[in-house]
Amino acid sequence: MRLNMDYMIEMIWEYLALIRVYTKKPGNPPDLGPTDGIILRRGSTVEHACHALHRTLAAQFRYAIVWGTSTKFSPQRVGIHHKLHHEDVVQIVKK
């Protein structure tokens, strides 16, 4: 029965086009818990993640470091318009 629930939850995420992006503070491991992370729409950028965390973070944005499938190298330094993928880890650096 548990396998069917996992499959159903996965299909709901796929149908709603949602992704989960995890955050990382400098010098600390990423917060990868089941209740951690930011829920965003598929196709969201680093700017959307900044707005989800704090409304002034995008204005103070310098660059982000991303681990995951959305980058060619892991980790990679990216700009504010970089599109994120499901289960990417983002570390945001402010000015």
pLDDT digits 0-9 by tens, 10-42: 899 899 999 999 999 989 988 888 778 899 999
Residue 10 forms part of a structural domain: no
Residue 8 forms part of a structural domain: no
Residue 6 forms part of a structural domain: no
**What is the CB-side half-sphere exposure of residue 5 using CA atoms within 13 A?**
2
Q: Are 63 and 50 in contact (CB under 8 A)?
A: no
Residue 83: φ, ψ to 5° = -80, 135
State mean pLDDT over 61-69: 96
Residue 45 forms part of a structural domain: yes
pTM for the model stands at 0.86
Q: Which structural domain, as residue segments, surrounds residue 82?
A: 18-94
Worst-scoring range by mean pLDDT, 10-19, 24-33, 50-59, 68-77?
24-33
- Domain count of the chain? 1
Residue 32 forms part of a structural domain: yes
CATH number, domain containing residue 87: 3.10.20.30
Residue 44 forms part of a structural domain: yes
